[in-house]
Amino acid sequence: MRSLLVLLLVAVSEPALAQDQWRIVRGSVRVLCPLTVGGSFEARGEGLKGSLSLKTAKPAAFDGRIEMPLGGLDTGIGLRNEHMKDNYLEIGKGPDFASAFLSSITLQGADAATVSGKTSFSGDLQVHGVTRLVQGTAEIRRQGNAIHISARLAVRLPEFGIPSPRYLGVGVRDEVQVSVTLEAAPLTQEVR
């Protein structure tokens, strides 16, 4: 009887990210690209996918990966899209180039059982076939059984072997700002 009560209490108070497995239900990415002449433009894309499983609760760390297909990125200008995908991201080179992947995600100093609000994170980001450790900030909130995450990180293009984008005197600066918004649902919940 006592065990049943404990189980019930755990189930009722189950906080964010304490589930073992999560699947990305939907998500989008915005990459803010500052221009060398001042100003900036955004590359926007949707179709974030992947699944994560809780590896350790404290700090909250996850196995699995989040994938962002890069073919759908849109800057609003066809020529700019073409240059971005063909000349710099080189998405035609194969699966390692066609998508960006974030894996080995750790919410630094956060407990999976209680984490909510703003936190910092680290993970292995693979872009352009190159993997680097990155760090950023995330805001986590729960809505029903789902988790909403808004994350931001800076990406330095040369570190990923991406040449400095330049076209007729106008270029993108080496560091771009990536914003990720995603919604994840517990895998068990979906199965039910």
Partner 1 sequence: MNTGRLLIAAFVAATLTPLAEAEPMFLSKQYTRCLTCHFSPTGGGLLTAYGRSLSENELSTFKSGAAASREHEFLYGALGDSLGALQLGVTLRPARLEVDFTGGSLSRNFMMNAEVTAAYQKDRWTLYAEIGRQGRTAKAEIDSFEHWVAFQSAKGLGIRAGRFLPAYGVRLADHTTYTRRSLGFDMHDQIYGVELSRSSEKALFQVSLGPGRAASLIDDDGRAAFTASARAQFDLRGSKSLVFSALRRAASDRAGADTLGGLAFGFAPSRRWSVWTEGNVRSQEGGRGSSYTLANETSFEAHRGLWLKFTPQLRTNPGDTGGGVIRTGAAIDWLPRTHVNLGLLYYRDKDRRSSSVTKTLLAQAHLYF
Binding site for partner 1 (CB under 8 A): 32, 34-35, 37-42, 75-79, 167-170, 173
Minimum distance of partner 1 from residue 120's CB (angstroms):
22
Minimum distance of partner 1 from residue 43's CB (angstroms):
10
**Four-CA torsion 17, 18, 24, 29, nearest 10 degrees:** 10
Whole-angstrom Cα distance, residue 32 to residue 172? 10
HEC secondary structure over 129-159? CEEEEEEEEEEEEEECCEEEEEEEEEEEHHH
Q: Which residues pair with 130 in a beta bridge?
A: 127
Nearer to partner 1, 131 or 179 (CB): 179
Nearer to partner 1, 93 or 166 (CB): 166
Nearer to partner 1, 6 or 77 (CB): 77
Minimum distance of partner 1 from residue 100's CB (angstroms):
21
Closest CA to 167 of 93, 82, 97, 90: 82
Minimum distance of partner 1 from residue 40's CB (angstroms):
5
Nearer to partner 1, 35 or 130 (CB): 35
DSSP 8-state secondary structure symbol assigned to residue 128: T
